Amino acid sequence: MAAQTRTKPVLGQTLIAGLWKENPVFRLLLGMCPTLAVTAAVKPALTMGLSVIFVLICSNIVVSLMRNLLKPHLRILMFTLTIATFVTIADLFLKAFVPRMSETLGPYVPLIIVNCIIICRAEACASKNSLVVSIIDALGMGVGFTLTLCVLAGVRELLSTGAIWEIRILPAGFVPWAAMSMPVGAFITLGLLLGLVNKMQNDK
Amino acid sequence: MDTLTILLMGFISIVLINNLVLTKFLGICPYLGVSGRIDMAFGMGLAVTFVVTLSGTLTWLIDHLILMGTALEVTRYVCFIMVIAGAVQLVEMYLRKFFPSLYESFGIFLPLITTNCAILGLCLFINLWEIDNLLEAVVLSFGAGIGFTMAICIMAGIRENLNLADVPDCLKGAPITLITAGILTLAFMGFAGMIR
């Protein structure tokens, strides 16, 4: 593999790729379930993003370390088991330290197990590359995912309550759009944001 | 209420009111990926229905008979995902042996059911809603599968017509599908409040 010939600038590119060029949500359309489900407000979205970063980095480390031991037909199962272990850790951590947030997120924390981003990175990057590249890749992808969640959540929270991070921004006369905090708002906001990203990409 | 009414209520509620795809955002990936053609969508829906019924029942049994008895709830997620992966493997083997043509047409989507959030999501919701009756768990799992099939088939029907529509360039593909899904969700909100 080309892992040995990779130098610093390439690592930087790997990090940046996850933020925009290969942004998991906008460009690869991965991990849609949590994207839609937890973005009614910024706080749960950020918690979700941080949990995903944690699981992504840990699972990429483990998968990268055991990449030479993997049997092809069993690898997906091994990935899932690794991920499930780290998700359990993250879930217990959230339950212990931020119980109210854990309640808000509900089953969407354990659902990180089947988040396509993590399996996709394990398969496409960690199982082929060295430890450092895998960690950098996980970091880039995770941060890209978190930022996307926060942007989406910001738009939705602003329009549904007139506040971001529970700090009032719009004037008191603003009539909240109740629909934005409901599933309808999630689907339509994400659809329009995707359209916007496509447009920016085409104009370049 | 007698048992039959409760089961019927549960079934209707999971199919229409708490539809996994439209209100819980579960199974969005296949919902966006496979819903291009109606026959594929229906096949996918049936496969998911089968797997979800099987794994919903099995995980309920494992959870109540083994994990809760031995205080091993911590390993719940690992066990659930193992059961689902096993169930998918079973379906795959069965289809390859008895319905090779159907197996061919599923292609990559069959193994992907393992990572379909609808299935793990339902197992977790059954746990969250504290369903303590095996029959109810079976009916809910089956209903969830039917709800998924219905949502994905409606979507496929709309998308077949969407191909003929004049959509702005930047909204082609996934964005317009998401917006359509949003409007569909709005329609399904009409069912809210049907029970109680």
- Could you tell me which residues of chain A have a Cβ less than 8 Å from any Cβ in chain B? 29-30, 32-33, 36-37, 76-77, 80-81, 84-85, 87-88, 91-92, 106-107, 110-111, 113-116, 119, 179, 182-188, 190-192, 194-196, 198-199, 202
Distance from CA of B7 to the nearest CA of A (A): 23
Mean pLDDT along residues A15-21: 76
> CA A120 to CA B99: how far, in whole Å?
29
pLDDT of residue B142: 93
State pLDDT tens for residues A78-107: 888 899 999 999 999 999 999 998 888 888
Q: What would the pLDDT profile of B99-138 be if each residue is shown by its tens digit?
A: 888 777 766 667 777 777 888 888 888 888 888 888 989 9
Q: pLDDT tens digits, residue range B68-89? A: 878 788 888 888 888 888 888 8
pLDDT digits 0-9 by tens, B39-59: 878 888 888 888 899 899 999
| pLDDT for res A146 | 92
Q: Which of residues 174 through 193 in chain B touch A, CB cutoff 8 A?
A: 174-179, 181-183, 185-186, 189
Which helix (H) or strand (E) element contains residue A168? strand A167-168
Q: Which residues of A48-70 are buried (b: 16+ CB within 10 A; e: fewer)?
A: bbebbbbbbbbbbbbbbeebeee
Which chain B residue lies closest to A85 (C-alpha atoms)?
Answer: B78
Of A21-25, A112-116, A188-192, B116-120, the range with the lowest mean pLDDT is A21-25
CA distance A141 to A144: 5
Question: What crossing angle do the helices spanning B38-61 and B117-128 adopt, rounded to 10°?
Answer: 40
pLDDT tens per residue, range B161-189 = 888 888 888 888 888 888 988 998 888 88
Per cent of chain A over pLDDT 70 is 96
Cα B143 to Cα B149: distance, rounded to the nearest angstrom: 10
Instruction: Summarize the confidence of residues B147-174 as an average pLDDT.
Output: 87
Q: Does position A122 have pLDDT exceeding 80, yes or no?
A: yes
- How many angstroms separate the CA atoms of B41 and B149, rounded? 7
Per-residue CA distances from B118 to A157, A203, B53 (Å): 26, 37, 11
Q: Which residue of B has its CA nearest to A27?
A: B174
Confidence band of A2 (pLDDT split at 50, 70, 90)? very low
pTM above 0.90, yes or no: no
Task: Indicate if the alpha-carbon torsion angle B181, B182, B188, B192 is positive or negative.
Answer: positive
All residues at 6 or more sequence positions from A124 whose CB lies less than 8 Å from its CB, including other chains: none
The distance of B146 to chain A (nearest Cα, Å) reads: 19
Q: pLDDT at position B161, please?
A: 87
Contact B124/A188, CB-based, under 8 Å? Answer: no
Q: Which band of pLDDT confidence, cut at 50, 70 and 90, is reported for residue A49?
A: very high
Residue A12 has pLDDT above 80, yes or no: no
Domain boundaries, chain B: 23-190
Partners of A194 on chain B (C-beta within 8 Å) are 174-175, 178
- Asked if the model's pLDDT at residue A1 lies above 60, the reply is no
pLDDT band at A47 (very low <50, low <70, confident <90, very high): very high
